[in-house]
Amino acid sequence: MLNAIRRFVKEEEGASAAEYALLLALISLFIVGAVTLLGTNIDAAIRAAAGVISS
């Protein structure tokens, strides 16, 4: 397993490790933003439903 990782890091063809890290960071930021937005919307929907039920 370690040998495969070393070969991957040393490989000079294609995208470099820095490019993969940048791509991973951008995808991670997108996922965090989407989860935050979804969480806020779900929280608002649940609070609205609870308000209707309690009244």
Question: SS3 letters for 5-51?
Answer: HHHHHHCCCCCCHHHHHHHHHHHHHHHHHHHHHHHHHHHHHHHHHHH
What range defines the domain where residue 6 resides? 2-54
Are 17 and 9 contacting, i.e. CB atoms less than 8 angstroms apart? Answer: yes
Output 30 or 14, whichever has higher pLDDT.
Answer: 30
Distance CA 21, CA 55 (A): 51
Number of structural domains (the chain) is: 1
| Amino acid at the residue 44 | A
Average pLDDT over residues 8-29: 82
Three-state secondary-structure class, residue 12 = coil
Confidence (pTM): 0.54
How far apart CA 49 and CA 55 sit, in angstroms, is 10
The pLDDT score that the predictor gives to residue 3 is: 84
Task: State the pLDDT confidence band at 14, using cuts at 50, 70 and 90.
Answer: low
Q: Is the pLDDT of residue 12 over 70?
A: no
Q: In this prediction, what percent of the chain has a pLDDT beyond 90?
A: 51
